[in-house]
Structure formats: structure tokens, C-alpha cells
Amino acid sequence: AIEMKKKIGCHVIASDVDKNICMLARKNIKFNNLNIKVYQSNFFKNIKQSFDIVSFNPPYVATSLGKKILLSKKFKSQWDGGKNSDRVLKSFLNKLKNYNKKIICYMGINRQHLDTKAIQKLIKNYKLNLIEMKKSNLFPVNVYIVKNK
């Protein structure tokens, strides 16, 4: 949210399901002297404002792997993608599919945890339109540009 506000200058809102992450985001926004509203929300649930574009970086580490490598319990909502790494992504795609307005979504997903073909299949199964996929050469991340209608 901060980078979008700084580089593009558009109206930006931010959200996270975890109240501690929201608090940290508000502090960071204040430190950067920016005007960004932060909502504690599960996807779009508590956001009443209209929006056209969503940037989404779902948690995608499998629960068992996160526990094995001792990822933070405090920030579990930031990494825990469920048993198969795709629980949160599936929930989000379902919300995106059923959202009552046209939205373009940019999803950054680590391809070491979620297979590219599996994600493309999920997008198709949720009847969303994959506009483009960009592969980072620097990080193991793919950015999927998806439209809901």
C-alpha cells in the first residue's frame, strides 16, 4: 500500500485480517507521512469504500512446513496457507468471483509453495479471467493479473 501510494499517488486503502498487522501498518504509514486508511478485514468484508484494483499476497506456506521450520505463531496469519498451501487463496478467489463489482487483482504468489499450473487451474475453476502472468527473475514469485467479470 505504501509503495503504491508513493509511486503512483492514487487513493489507497489497506487491509489485513490480523489486528497486530493493521497496527504495524498504521505506524509505518504514519512514519512515512502518508494518508492511507487501514481496515481490519477478512478480504472485502469490512471495506465499504469502492475500489477497482486489489493487490493480494496470500499466505502460502503449508501449515506443517511452517510448524517444522518454526515460523512465528504470532504472525501465523501471514504465512499459513493451510494443509496444501492454498486455503486462503481459494477463499479469496471465491470472494473475488462473487464480488458485485468489476475488479482487477494483482496476486503475488511464491511458486516454490504453490505450483503455477495449479494456480492457473484454480483461477479457471473459480471462473475468473487470467489476463496475464508475470514471472520474477529475481524472486520465486509470479504475479497473476486476474479479472473477476
DSSP annotation of 106: E
Radius of gyration of the chain (CA): 15
Cell numbers standing for residue 131? 489476463
pLDDT of residue 108: 96
CB 94 within 8 A of CB 146: no
Question: What's the pLDDT at 143?
Answer: 97
Please give the C-alpha separations between residue 137 and each of 10, 72, 111, 143, in angstroms, as whole numbers: 27, 28, 12, 12
Q: Rounded distance, CA 147 to CA 119, Å? A: 14
Q: Report the pLDDT value the prediction gives residue 12, as an integer from 0 to 100.
A: 94
Distance from chain centroid for Cα 106: 8
pLDDT at residue 54, as a whole number: 95
Q: Record the pTM.
A: 0.91
pLDDT value for 149? 82
C-alpha to C-alpha distances, 47 to 39, 40, 51, 67, nearest whole angstrom: 7, 9, 9, 32
pLDDT tens series, the chain, 149 aa: 999 999 998 999 999 999 999 999 999 999 999 999 999 999 999 999 889 999 999 999 999 999 999 999 999 999 999 999 999 999 999 999 999 999 999 999 999 999 999 999 999 999 999 999 999 999 999 999 999 98
- Count of Cβ atoms closer than 10 Å to residue 119 Cβ: 22
